[in-house]
Structure 1
């Protein structure tokens, strides 16, 4: 089964300094039937105004993946660690109890646009506290995985995250590790076809799709496409 969740159905916020779209319940947006999907707790796209910041706060035990689409961001923790990432890069924060984290748009003239994912972290796993990766322009890239395979970011959970960058007419086939996955179009149109059924969905910019009980997925771009496939066995 592939079931779409359109960008229009998502929660939204506009605070002036922050504009956001929320796939799942977050902040003021609450839907008891959309508290996350498997170990994926949060999937937000947010735009921070020039010079804007999220002030320090603590988090539950999650891995926070930030993918910068436009601008330059800095992430700091209360113990003095920090990382800067530009458009085309991603950072992974392995949050810890009693440590607070902040986010800053480093530009005083340009907005910061990024995707943010929270993934539940296994209580027995510890990884580097801050990791960074350059995404590049490969048609498919393993962005994050449980064991850091293929030089990917290492998660504290059985999750595989693929970054997809296709031209119109190109396609990629993906094996799904377990019963669930989530496909998110960052921009562009995509046809998604399940490998275990005749299920398919067409997604446009900002749309997502719940994927259930499909052993594989074919992703075909009908326009230039950038997307994430989040493989969620747990």
Structure 2
């Protein structure tokens, strides 16, 4: 098994006043040739947006874009006519495909919105743009790994144009579970949202990330009450 560890304090840090963004992988003005991506996982941004502020209308194409709010409410509008608000407990997935324009704003003027912005390289180019969102049941991730995204439209959660599976979990202290990768040749990236967990023998704290590949499974154990996002992606993207 091979691994790569990204401690929270080694991430790119861009503070624009209205936006404070921390980049696990190279993005915008943050560039590190050793941190371009993890397989098909190209962007993992940890964003805080001031009240009433946001990203004006801008284009994307040929990317699978996932937004996961952690606090507050995020308002989305796009060129397909979608208008939606997502909040903590929701997951949003947008297939940019042949091209889409969208905006994202903090719905509230009196509090920050904090969310993860994640980009995954697709396995099909120039698909029809698509938007979807899902409200999760917190009970489904209590001491279990809850799948939220897969390649299969008929499977649990949302689906994307890539052989990738995303899951979330809330573990009580000392709870332990083994995650078995679903496709040979994939790797898995664990990103800690709260608390501390151990992936095999490596301790991870809040906002640390660890990628593992050339393995069939990893074991995750909570050293405190902890929450994490798990992203299984192809490594040959």
CA RMSD, 1 decimal: 1.6
Structure-2 change in CA distance of 1:25 and 1:59 (3 Å): same
Q: Equivalent residue for 1:185? A: 192
- Following the alignment from structure 2 to structure 1, what is the Cα–Cα distance between the partners of residues 57 and 126? 24
Please give the secondary structure, in 2, of the residue aligned with 1:8.
Answer: helix
CA offset digits 1:7-59 (Å, max 9, x no partner): 01110111110111100000110112211111111001100000011011112
CA offset digits 1:131-182 (Å, max 9, x no partner): 1112222232101000035421101001011111111111221111334211
Kept in 2, the 8 Å contact 1:186–1:206? The answer is yes
Deviation at 1:125, TM superposition (A): 7.9
CA offset digits 1:107-147 (Å, max 9, x no partner): 01110000111001122584771111122222321010000
- Following the alignment from structure 1 to structure 2, what is the Cα–Cα distance between the partners of residues 216 and 98? 36
Q: Equivalent residue for 2:87? A: 86
CA offset digits 1:36-95 (Å, max 9, x no partner): 111111001100000011011112311111001100111111232222111111110111
Deviation at 1:202, TM superposition (A): 0.6
Q: Equivalent residue for 1:39? A: 40
Count of residues in correspondence between the two structures: 228
Kept in 2, the 8 Å contact 1:127–1:155? The answer is no
- Following the alignment from structure 1 to structure 2, what is the Cα–Cα distance between the partners of residues 39 and 8? 23
Moved more, 110-119 or 56-65: 56-65
Q: Equivalent residue for 2:212? A: 211
Moved more, 92-101 or 157-166: 92-101
Kept in 1, the 8 Å contact 2:124–2:162? The answer is no
- Following the alignment from structure 1 to structure 2, what is the Cα–Cα distance between the partners of residues 168 and 15? 36
- Following the alignment from structure 1 to structure 2, what is the Cα–Cα distance between the partners of residues 6 and 157? 27
Q: Runs of at least 4 residues of structure 1 off by over 6 A?
A: none
Structure-2 change in CA distance of 1:168 and 1:94 (3 Å): same
Q: Equivalent residue for 1:15? A: 16
Pick from 143, 146, 149 the counterpart of residue 148 of structure 2: 143
Structure 2 stretches lacking a partner, 5+ long: none
Superposed counterparts of 1:51-130, under 5 Å: 51-123=52-124, 126=127, 129-130=130-131
